[in-house]
Each structure stands twice: as C-alpha cells, then as structure tokens.
Amino acid sequence: MINRDEYGGGLHTLDLAAGSVTEGIIHYLSGGARAGSAGERQLAALLNHQVQGLALVRDPVAADLPLEQLRSVLRYWKDLPRVGGVPDILRVDPEALLAALGYIMLIDIDERSGDLRYALYGSKIAEVAGFDMTGKSVWDIPTTTPIQTFFAACYMAARQLKCPLYTVHKAPPSITVSHWHRIILPMGAGGEVKRFLVCNMPIKDGELQ
C-alpha cells in the first residue's frame, strides 16, 4: 500500500509531488522527448530513478503503437464527437472496443478532490498485475510512491495537454511481464477533461500476455 510519509506528508503533499512530475513530463515532451536529454534526466530524478525503460509520446499516431489493440482504441477515440478538442462523451461503447476488452481502464477525476479513481480495471490487467483496482484510487496501487506518482502525473499531463499520451515502462520484478504499453485518452464534457479511456497492454518477450 501507499507510504504516505515517503514525501513527508499526506495526500496533499503527494499531489504536489505529482504536480512536479507532471511539469517534468510536459517539459520533456515539449523538448522533443529525446533520449539522453536534460528533460529526460530531470524526469528520471523527479521519479527517484524508479521508473525504468521509460518512453513517452505525445499525440501518438498508429505507427507509434506496436499493438493493434492500442491502435484500435486510438481510432475509436479519434472518431468521437468533441468540444474544445476533448471528446464530449463519458460512456464508451464496449462493442467498439472488443479487440481490447480486458485491457481497458476507465479512470475518473473526482470533481471535489481531484483524485483519480478507477471506474473500470480490465480483467486481463488485473490477472497479470495480481490485483483489481476497480473503485480504488491511483494512490492505492500496491507499489512504490514514485511509481504511483508517475501514473498520476501521466493522467494529469494528458488532462492539461488535452491530447493522447502513450507511455512505455518496465514492469516491476514482482510482475511476470517485461513492459507495460499504455495509451491514455482524455474524455469529458464541454471541453473539460473528466475521465480517461486507457488501454494498458502487458508485454513479455515481445508477446502480449
């Protein structure tokens, strides 16, 4: 569970840490997301060097995505009606996402607290991870605080940028996959981001798990 003292305080302090990482992600992306760049080094330091094999792509296209499930979810999102650049819808059509079912997450933004909570945590993701986060906060994920902070910051960055964000990172040793490939797609109402449609794919030795 979360160690709320690791950053010297409670949830408010953790939110501040996530805010700093969000700024680091946006800075890294604005600099072209180059390997070995100052932005990459700053982001690694903000995450205490605990997120390994990290890659971030803003506004990915199909060629950036190695799996058809990721590409199909991106196509679905792009076809949705939008206001102010944000799909003006909160519900998703499961039949349109059949290829990716089991790997889909829906994450809601609590309007009062700003917390990020899983409305849906895909069954395939839960099977590989060994836990189901449905109904729980990003800060409840049983991992280290810097990794929780990384997840929260990615969603916050996608919210600020109002665009898709594709991330890759190595899975921790306790999970039997090598990498997680994730596409984060903001959704909302009236141009305001209120939910994320996420496809999260576990890969081991180049094969989907």
Render pLDDT for 53-109 as a digit per residue (tens, 0 to 9).
888 999 999 999 999 999 999 999 999 999 999 999 999 999 999 999 999 999 999
Q: Is residue 154 in a domain?
A: yes
Higher pLDDT: 25 or 60? It is: 60
Q: How many domains does the chain have?
A: 1
- CA dist., res. 91 & res. 88, Å (int): 10
Comparing CA positions, the residue from 160, 186, 202, 190 lying closest to residue 73 is: 186
What is the CATH classification number for the domain harbouring 166? 3.30.450.20
Give the pLDDT of residue 46: 78
pLDDT digits (tens, 9 = 90+) for 153-199: 999 999 999 999 999 988 766 666 678 899 999 999 999 999 999 99
Q: Is residue 2 in a domain?
A: no
Comparing CA positions, the residue from 141, 161, 160 lying closest to residue 151 is: 141
Q: 190 is in which domain, residue-wise?
A: 11-208
Q: Is residue 3 in a domain?
A: no
Q: Is residue 177 in a domain?
A: yes
Q: What is the pTM of this model?
A: 0.87
Q: Is the pLDDT of residue 12 over 50?
A: no
Q: Is residue 27 in a domain?
A: yes
Tell me what the pLDDT averaged over the chain comes to. 85
Strands (E), 15-89: 55-58, 82-83, 86-87
Q: Is residue 66 in a domain?
A: yes
Give the pLDDT of residue 6: 36
Q: Is residue 37 in a domain?
A: yes
pLDDT digits (tens, 9 = 90+) for 95-144: 999 999 999 999 999 888 878 999 999 999 999 888 999 999 999 999 88
Q: Is residue 158 in a domain?
A: yes
Query: Could you say which DSSP state residue 134 is in?
Result: T
Give the pLDDT of residue 41: 80
Residue 80, classified by CB atoms within 10 Å of its CB into exposed (0-12), middle (13-18) or buried (19+), is: middle
